[in-house]
A = this chain, B = another copy of it.
Amino acid sequence: MVCLFRAVWGLMNSPVIIPSDPKELIDLACSGNRAALARLISKIEHRNQDTEKLVELLYPLTGNAQVWGITGPPGAGKSTTVDRLITHLRAQGKKVAVVAVDPSSPFSGGAILGDRIRMQEHSGDNDVYIRSLGTRGRHGGLSHSTKEVVLAMDAAKFDIILVETAGVGQTELDILKLAQTVMVILVPESGDSIQMMKAGLMEIADLFVLNKADRPEADKLMRELTMMVGLNDHDEHSWMIPVCKTEANRDVGVQELLQVVASHQEWLKKSGKLEEKTKDFLKEEVVDILVAELKKSLDSILKTDGGKELLDQLYRKEIAPYQAAHLLAGRD
């Protein structure tokens, strides 16, 4: 009786024990265990003393996934498009992961309930993994965390990783630099948002998606986008940014969109641009690591009595900002 109780108790409380050892955690996450992957991503996201070790172990396992960026103003149909892309990619037998760093995304809990319920369609599918990353109080660090979360998903053998951001603001655009193919989704009424996004838009878009293309005003935006794309410098070796028309809610044009993404991926490989993009990404990762370490150590120093006294002197204008900075860094 006691034995039986113990056995049941044991089963109830340790279905699979999630290891805390970095190597074991990664092995389990990469074997397809979702709870281990969730724990791994949380550890990366929350950054503790294990983060470095985890990234070191993950890095050699990466490099197989395609990373696609998806951005656009709220209401453009990003989540509907992501939803459709998942369905099509699953039909092709691909494993798909989604990282939502968009406060208005249903994945990160920002949008109306209906959207969130619709996404449940994929929730029983073990080869679809959806994760949202908080944006509160992250400052520059969000882009850094997102990169490392993508490494974990890559190592966990997802074929396609979709990174969704709101597409306004420099931080959001910076995040998209980790993507190989960036699609910018717009709807006929996005006129204002285009205005707003224009600055960074042409730099990051590999293709435009004109969603809700059945609306009467769609032609106007189509003309504007085609003109904008045409103004971009290009020669015969460069990628001509295409404009794809979709009606994501009726699944119109999504298959064609996937073909365009595939041809962009092919162009990336053939042109040597993929290697260049990957190296740029690695360069930023290295810089991000050192900036994060600098900020952390400055934060500690500024909390000491000496640090506080330095800030007080600065506040009283006895010293100036650059002087304070150099004193802090021990260079004066």
Residues of A within 8 A of B (CB): 52, 55-56, 59-60, 63, 74-75, 103-104, 110-111, 135-140, 142, 166, 168-172, 174, 192-193, 195-200, 203, 275, 278-279, 282-283, 285-287, 289-291, 293-295, 298, 302, 311, 314-315, 317, 320-325, 328-329
Contact = CB atoms under 8 A, between A and B. Distances in A.
Contact of A168 (B136, B166, B283, B286): B166
Given A103-B198, A166-B196, A279-B315, A286 B59 contact: no
Contacts of A56: 320-323
B60 A320 contact: yes
B199 A136 contact: yes
A172 B104 CA distance: 17
Given A104-B196, A196-B104, A289 B325 contact: yes
Contacts of A103: 195-199
Contacts of A198: 103, 110
Contact of A320 (B59, B110, B295): B59
A311 B287 CA distance: 11
A60 B196 contact: no
Nearest to A193: B74
B138 A170 contact: yes
B285 A74 contact: no
A145 B74 CA distance: 29
Most buried by B among A74, A139, A172, A325: A325
A184 to B, nearest CB: 15
Contacts of A298: 286-287, 290
A136 B140 CA distance: 17
B135 A104 contact: no
Given A170-B169, A196-B103, A315-B282, A55 B287 contact: no
A325 B59 contact: no
Contact of A286 (B139, B289, B324): B324
B289 A295 contact: no
